[in-house]
């Protein structure tokens, strides 16, 4: 699934520098607010859904080579975090709805937990 | 736990420095300081603050004025919810002899809206000591919630819980290897006192504790194993 489709269908706000999101392929989804779990649970090229906006999320996403982070409930990463994400090429996306809703919407689009 | 018993039990355990760190609260700190006034025990004012990321951090100070400033900030960053005594229990405020003074009505058990970084800055600017609490614990511990110690902060020490040795903690969590570790009892009951942190310092102040963590000018810090 293209990241551009997810952004459009879920009406996500792009916090980092815009790019050609149709070039980015998303293979799976993972949802948790505990970064230690994400480090062992999320998969490369996956999208991670969380309301954690702390700066450490960028390092975790870079470590795992994630396609994007969807930050929920309008949680706002600070400017340093967004800058760091731009440096590392991590896409930060934002929505006002909670984790549950985002996961449901992604499931309906056909995204699943693990890479098939 | 009433103040005179806290003081007495600490002294019986051979401890001469404690900090009072209630959860997001400081109403009972003065009572313990007063209860220890004529004893060979220093009581530092403090708080266990729960950050926005659900990480518990110990904030220690030299004076009540510093702690009061932090408390003011915490109060405006807690959600406007009253404590439910049936669910969470009483939040008593007592005097130095343990007599009932009042209740804190605000729900204290939840997170503040202060981020980990903000809390570090505020505590540091106030001249306090910022120590992430029980970092190895699955719940409310820094490692579970944030994965690793945010690298850009000059954190003096991390606290590990009573259930693990410093060696085991470092082995299990290599991401804490660059930091000094302290170990406290997370004393909720009188039986919980641990007393394993040993400081060689000139006087019991925050700046001396910081110097000990940095091995400055013959100050020393070590953990004596309780296992």
Q: How far is B167 from chain A (nearest CA, A)?
A: 20
Return the pLDDT at A116.
52
Sequence ranges of the domains in chain A: 3-108
State residue A25 phi and psi, 5-degree precision.
-100, 130
- Mean pLDDT, range B194-212, rounded to an integer: 96
Are B48 and B19 in contact by the 8 Å Cβ rule? The answer is: no
Q: Rounded distance, CA B20 to CA B132, Å?
A: 15
Closest listed residue to residue B32, CA positions, set B56, B58, B67, B57: B67
User: What pLDDT is recorded for position B90?
Assistant: 87
Lowest mean pLDDT among A70-74, B190-194, B211-215: B190-194
Instruction: Give B141-173 pLDDT, tens digit per residue.
Output: 999 999 999 998 999 999 999 999 999 999 999
User: What are the backbone dihedrals phi and psi of residue B167, each rounded to the nearest 5 degrees, phi first?
Assistant: -65, -45
What residues does B182 pair with on adjacent strands? Answer: B159
pTM of the model: 0.89
Report the pLDDT value the prediction gives residue B80, as an integer from 0 to 100: 87
Chain B: which residues have CB within 8 Å of chain A? 52-53, 115-117, 143-148, 150
Q: Do B150 and A55 touch (CB under 8 A)?
A: yes
Predicted ipTM of the assembly: 0.78
Q: How far is B156 from chain A (nearest CA, A)?
A: 19
Interface test with A, best of B146, B150, B173 (most A CBs within 10 A): B146
Q: What is the pLDDT of residue B89?
A: 85
Cβ-contact A90, A16 below 8 angstroms = yes
| Cβ pair B144:A34 closer than 8 A | yes
- The pLDDT of residue A115 is above 60: no
- Residue B39: what pLDDT? 96
What CATH topology corresponds to A3-108?
A: 3.40.1390
pLDDT at B52 over 70: yes
Task: Report the topology of domain B3-223.
Answer: TIM Barrel (3.20.20)
* Model pLDDT for residues A52-84, shown as the tens digit of each residue: 999 999 999 998 999 999 999 999 999 999 999
């Amino acid at each position: 699934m293209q990241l551009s489709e997810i952004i459009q269908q879920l009406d996500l706000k792009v916090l980092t520098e815009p790019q050609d999101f149709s070039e980015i392929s998303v293979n799976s989804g993972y949802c948790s607010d505990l970064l230690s779990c994400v480090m062992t649970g999320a998969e490369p090229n996956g999208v991670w859904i969380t309301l954690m906006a702390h700066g450490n999320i960028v390092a975790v996403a870079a470590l795992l080579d994630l396609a994007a982070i969807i930050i929920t409930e309008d949680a706002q990463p600070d400017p340093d975090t967004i800058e760091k994400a731009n440096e590392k090429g991590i896409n930060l996306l934002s929505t006002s709805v909670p984790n549950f809703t985002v996961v449901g919407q992604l499931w309906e689009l056909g995204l699943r937990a693990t890479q098939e | 736990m009433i103040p005179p018993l806290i003081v007495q039990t600490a002294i019986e355990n051979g401890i001469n420095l404690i900090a009072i760190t209630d959860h997001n609260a400081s109403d009972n700190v003065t009572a313990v300081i007063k209860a220890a006034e004529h004893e060979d025990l220093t009581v530092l004012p403090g708080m266990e603050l729960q950050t926005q990321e659900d990480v518990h951090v110990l904030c220690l100070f030299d004076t009540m004025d510093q702690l009061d400033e932090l408390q003011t900030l915490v109060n405006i960053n807690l959600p406007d919810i009253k404590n439910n005594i049936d669910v969470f229990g009483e939040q008593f405020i007592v005097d130095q002899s343990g007599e009932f003074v009042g209740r804190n009505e605000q729900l204290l058990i939840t997170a503040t809206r202060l981020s980990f970084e903000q809390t570090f800055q505020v505590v540091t600017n106030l001249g306090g000591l910022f120590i992430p609490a029980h970092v190895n614990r699955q719940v409310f511990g820094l490692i579970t919630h944030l994965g690793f110690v945010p690298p850009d902060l000059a954190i003096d020490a991390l606290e590990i819980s009573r259930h693990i040795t410093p060696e085991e903690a470092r082995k299990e969590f290599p991401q804490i290897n660059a930091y000094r570790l302290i170990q406290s009892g997370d004393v909720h009951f009188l039986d919980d006192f641990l007393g394993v942190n040993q400081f060689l310092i000139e006087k019991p102040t925050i700046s001396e504790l910081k110097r000990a963590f940095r091995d400055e000018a013959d100050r020393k810090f070590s953990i004596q194993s309780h296992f």
